[in-house]
Structure 1
Amino acid sequence: MDCDPVQILFAKTVGPVKDTFIVYNSQGKSKGMAVVAFAKPESAALAREKYNGKIVDGRRPIKIEIIKDDNEIPSAAPEKKSLSLLERIGQTSKSAKLRTKKGPKRIQKQQQRKVVTAEQLDQEMEDYRASTDTV
């Protein structure tokens, strides 16, 4: 296994490193960026605490960003949230929200809608066509 300076630095001063990837340009020179995968999440936090903003190679400060892998299995069991009454009896909160829409305001809107017959729609269309023909 070929160890690069980035891997050696973090392995010695922070904690176990799973993998490192250094970004190179087309001429084979380092672009000054690397991706380091730590064995433990707390190692990444320690690396940021120790080295973020610090000058290590004498050129420019290191910028450390933590990227969390969502596909990893959590070490501890996730906390269970308490279910609402509707969720416990088999209805989701989404269906409960849908039911609240059938309140008095919705009924009033339905009652205020004007019922239009087919004959009235035909007459409106004829009136519209007649008004556009004269222009």
Structure 2
Amino acid sequence: MSALDKSLDDIISNSRKSLKTKRSTRGNTGKVGKKVGAVNKKPIVSFKKAKPAVTATPNTAASMMYATKVVVYGLPKDIKMDAIKDFFQSQVGGVQNVALSYNERGHFKGIATIIFKTNKSATLAVEKYNGAPIDGGSSKLKLELIIDPTKKPLTSRIAPNKVANPKALAVKAQTKANLRSKPKAKPQQQKKKPAKKSKKTVEQLDQEMTDYFGN
């Protein structure tokens, strides 16, 4: 009988017999291999809670309190705006406005922008439903927390100039006053250089020789 004609029970039985034979020959010191037909234990997979995705500016820490907008991706395309608003209002609370995104044909793209009244509600929505499964795990939601700079008051966006130490200002002013009160040094007059004598011509030299010998 070939190996293909044997049943699974016969194969397992023969494999066990061969393993027992090997054990008896090796003694207790030999290592036993993996059993044929043994059920492999599946590794335990731990699912960590997805971290909220945040679209932030450089001053994230100072601006987080003004992040009240949440963009939701992956919503079922057959869902209505009222259903989305009622869901987040009942599960999170503090929903102020909901807007849906449509394509050029007027079909819902599965993207909704939700504005909450406070940053606490917006952050809770992201922490609670970012990565949440939809319809039995066929897809997952994705939530992004958006920092809207238009929500920040002008007082938090404009910082006053730093005021210098009054003592330092007084010392600086006194130094300038002292410099102004000092008499300015007179500029030294440059000595006039003697004018260079012009070279005599041949005629002048001849005349001088004639005058000298004539005398």
Normalising by structure 2, what TM-score? 0.33
* Structure 2 unmatched ranges of 5 or more: 1-79, 169-215
Indicate the structure whose relative CO is greater, using CA pairs within 8 Å and at least 6 residues apart.
Answer: 2
**Structure 1 residues 10-49: aligned runs within 5 Å:** 10-49=88-127
Task: Report the Cα distance in structure 1 between the residues aligned to 2:117 and 2:111, rounded to whole angstroms.
Answer: 20
**Structure 1 residues 89-100: aligned runs within 5 Å:** 89=166
Q: Using a 3 Å threshold, how does the CA distance of structure 1 residues 43 and 60 change in structure 2: closer, same or farther?
A: same
**Structure 1 residues 109-120: aligned runs within 5 Å:** none
When Rg is computed on C-alpha atoms for both structures, the one with the higher figure is 2
Residues 97 and 114, structure 2, Cα contact 8 Å, conserved in 1:
yes
**Aligned partner of residue 33 in structure 1, secondary structure:** strand
Q: Using a 3 Å threshold, how does the CA distance of structure 1 residues 55 and 87 change in structure 2: closer, same or farther?
A: farther
Q: Using a 3 Å threshold, how does the CA distance of structure 1 residues 29 and 3 change in structure 2: closer, same or farther?
A: closer
- Aligned residue for 2:144? 65
For 1:21, the aligned partner's letter is A
Give the C-alpha shift of residue 57 in structure 1.
5.0
How many matched pairs?
A: 83
Question: What is the identity percentage for the equivalent residue pairs of Structure 1 and Structure 2?
Answer: 34
* Structure 1 unmatched ranges of 5 or more: 92-135
RMSD of aligned Cα (Å)? 3.2
Residues 133 and 139, structure 2, Cα contact 8 Å, conserved in 1:
yes
Give the C-alpha shift of residue 71 in structure 1.
2.6
Normalising by structure 1, what TM-score? 0.50
1:6 aligns with 2:84: yes
